[in-house]
């Protein structure tokens, strides 16, 4: 799966244009540092039956996903957030696995976009 299909380059370009490449790279660095904890919190919330932890973590990961145009990850996180908010964690395991798989690909796409920006390459 190519990064272009996972990360919308137009969204990244708009982000860079609205702030600047250096700050966009800082946001990407923060995502790369913080997002593994969010994924772990989803897993922990499922294991402990803590729907609020799952909901909050999915919400934050979704918001970050939309910031970088992660058009596969963000909707999955929205779905998980909605499910945890309405029904708790019952039945959320398959969706959480989809979020984890999508996150792994999305993380690589953000890393590639960040590397491109650091090398002076325009997004997309």
Buried b (16+ CB within 10 A) or exposed e, 59-71: bbbbebbbbbbbb
Whether 48 maps to a domain, the answer reads yes
Whether 79 maps to a domain, the answer reads yes
The pLDDT tens digits of the residues spanning 64-101 come to: 999 999 999 999 999 999 999 999 999 999 999 999 99
Q: Tell me the residue range of the domain where 96 lies.
A: 3-116
Q: What is the structure's pLDDT at 2?
A: 47
Whether 124 maps to a domain, the answer reads no
**CATH number for the domain including 17?**
1.20.120.160
Rounded to two decimals, the pTM is 0.91
Whether 36 maps to a domain, the answer reads yes
Q: What is the structure's pLDDT at 102?
A: 97
Average pLDDT of the chain is 93
Q: What is the structure's pLDDT at 121?
A: 80
Whether 42 maps to a domain, the answer reads yes
34 pLDDT above the threshold of 90: yes
Which position has the token pair 């996972």?
6
Whether 123 maps to a domain, the answer reads no
- Say how far apart CA 57 and CA 49 lie, in whole Å: 14
Whether 34 maps to a domain, the answer reads yes
Please tell me the total count of domains within the chain.
1
């Amino acid at each position: 799966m190519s990064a272009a299909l996972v990360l919308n380059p137009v969204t990244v370009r708009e982000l860079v244009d609205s702030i600047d490449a250096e700050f966009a790279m800082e946001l990407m660095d923060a995502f790369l540092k913080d997002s593994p904890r969010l994924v772990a919190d989803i897993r922990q919330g499922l294991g402990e039956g803590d729907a609020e932890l799952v909901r909050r973590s999915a919400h934050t990961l979704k918001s970050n996903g939309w910031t970088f145009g992660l058009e596969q990850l963000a909707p999955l996180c929205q779905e998980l957030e909605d499910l945890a908010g309405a029904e708790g964690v019952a039945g959320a395991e398959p969706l959480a696995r989809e979020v984890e798989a999508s996150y792994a690909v999305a993380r690589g796409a953000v890393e590639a976009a960040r590397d491109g920006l650091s090398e002076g390459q325009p997004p997309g």
